[in-house]
């Protein structure tokens, strides 16, 4: 009975999650990426999964990214990929992760694809930045995410920009302690705004990755007085009504497209980000029980 119920709940969750993920397979991810290109956006594909501890798992994921990068080129898809450091083995060691990431980035560079390094929870921030800076000396089509909810990010961003880094600014998706992170929405938003201003004054080739209209308006308004190369990045299935409007306004957008069977943790993060999503989940669950 318990197993039957959990399978049922998983099925309902999947119905909701489907809007945010391309599907289980690489083919479905490539199809979504082609669709994003047709709608005027670049695609950033991510294979779902994180905190990989077994070397077999890491090596399978690295192989998958290598194939993905070749397929992106073959399918003439405009965009790139985004990799989580723990998918490349950061839970094992910095050296092992850097070695694996370099394999992916080397191949991506040859295919003219851009690689983003996602930022995970704060226990990995130092090592992720270290690996990024080391690889960025050799590969220029490489970017790193930084999180506005972390108190350290203001300093990290200044340092990264001094190195000419390509930065994606996000609010931050991981649960953090009061010591390391801003905890209220207001504090995170205020820090996000401050960091957007830093990007427009001191950065170039950066990404404003948010669905928050107030942050997007701040960036569009700053762009009028600062000639910077930047793009907006949004997740697949979120703010789909806004994406064509920004494109029409002349702004570049990339859509982040996750795929794979490990969709649950990603989808739970998306659900938590918006109360209305929880309501949607509830009403869909009730509705399906009516029939």
Ligand X SMILES: Cc1cc2nc3c(=O)[nH]c(=O)nc-3n(C[C@H](O)[C@H](O)[C@H](O)COP(=O)(O)OP(=O)(O)OC[C@H]3O[C@@H](n4cnc5c(N)ncnc54)[C@H](O)[C@@H]3O)c2cc1C
Q: How far is the CB of 117 from ligand X (least distance, A)?
A: 8
Angle value at C-alpha 176, between 184 and 259, nearest 5 degrees = 105
Burial (CB count <10 Å: 0-12, 13-18, 19+), residue 95 = exposed
Q: Least separation, in Å, of the C-beta of 146 and ligand X?
A: 9
Q: Measured from the CB atom, is 56 or 166 closer to ligand X?
A: 166
* Cβ–Cβ < 8 Å for 79, 37: yes
Q: Are 254 and 43 in contact (CB under 8 A)?
A: yes
**C-alpha–C-alpha distance, residues 273 and 241, integer Å:** 18
Residue (85 or 227) nearer to ligand X, CB: 85
Residue among 32 and 210 whose Cβ is closer to ligand X: 210
Closest approach of ligand X to the CB of residue 235, in Å: 5
Name the minimum Å distance from CB 4 to ligand X: 29
Residue 70's H or E segment, with its range, is: helix 55-74
Question: How far, CA to CA in Å, does 37 sit from each of 44, 45, 46, 78, 118?
Answer: 11, 12, 16, 7, 22
Measure the CA–CA gap between 83 and 119, rounded to whole angstroms.
9
In the complex, what is the shortest distance from the CB of residue 263 to ligand X, in angstroms, rounded to a whole number? 14
Which three-class secondary structure state does DSSP give residue 83?
Answer: strand
Q: What angle do CA 56, 57, 63 make, to 5 degrees?
A: 90
Residue with tokens 């050296």: 95
Nearer to ligand X (CB atom), residue 50 or residue 98:
50
42, 156, 168, 270: which is the annotated catalytic residue?
Answer: 168
User: Look-up: residue for tokens 């309501």?
Assistant: 279
User: CB–CB of 47/63 below 8 Å?
Assistant: no
Between 77 and 145, CB nearer to ligand X = 145
Residue 168 designated active-site: yes
- Catalytic residue, chosen from 24, 31, 42, 118, is 118
Chain contacts with ligand X (rule: CB under 6 A)? 118-119, 145, 147, 170-174, 209-212, 233-235, 238, 256, 270, 273-274, 277
Q: Please, what is the minimum distance in Å from the beta carbon of residue 35 to ligand X?
A: 17
CA–CA gap between residue 139 and residue 16 (Å, rounded) = 38
| Rounded Cα distance, 288 and 7, in Å | 14
Cβ proximity to ligand X, 12 vs 227, nearer residue: 12
Catalytic residues: 118, 168
């Amino acid at each position: 009975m318990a197993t039957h119920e959990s399978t049922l709940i998983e099925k309902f969750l999947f119905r909701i999650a489907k809007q945010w993920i391309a599907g289980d397979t690489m083919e479905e991810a490539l199809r979504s990426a082609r669709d994003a290109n047709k709608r005027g956006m670049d695609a950033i594909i991510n294979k779902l999964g994180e905190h990989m501890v077994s070397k077999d798992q890491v090596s399978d994921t690295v192989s998958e990214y290598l194939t993905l990068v070749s397929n992106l080129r073959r399918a003439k898809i405009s965009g790139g990929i985004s990799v989580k450091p723990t998918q490349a083995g950061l839970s094992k060691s910095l050296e092992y992760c850097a070695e694996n990431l370099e394999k992916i980035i080397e191949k991506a560079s040859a295919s003219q694809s851009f690689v983003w390094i996602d930022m995970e929870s704060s226990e990995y921030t130092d090592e992720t930045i270290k690996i990024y800076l080391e690889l960025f000396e050799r590969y220029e089509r490489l970017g790193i995410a930084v999180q506005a909810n972390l108190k350290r990010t203001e300093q990290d961003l200044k340092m990264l920009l001094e190195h000419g880094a390509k930065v994606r600014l996000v609010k931050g998706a991981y649960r953090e302690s009061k010591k390391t992170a801003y905890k209220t929405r207001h504090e995170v938003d205020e820090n996000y705004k401050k960091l957007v201003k830093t990007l427009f004054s001191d950065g170039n080739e950066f990404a404003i990755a948010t669905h928050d209209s107030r942050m997007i308006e701040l960036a569009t308004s700053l762009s009028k007085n600062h000639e910077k190369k930047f793009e907006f990045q949004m997740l697949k299935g979120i703010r789909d009504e806004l994406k064509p409007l920004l494109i029409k306004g002349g702004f570049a957008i990339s859509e982040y497209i996750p795929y794979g069977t490990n969709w649950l943790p990603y989808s739970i993060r998306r659900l938590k980000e918006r109360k209305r999503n929880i309501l949607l989940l509830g009403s869909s669950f009730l509705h399906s029980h009516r029939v």
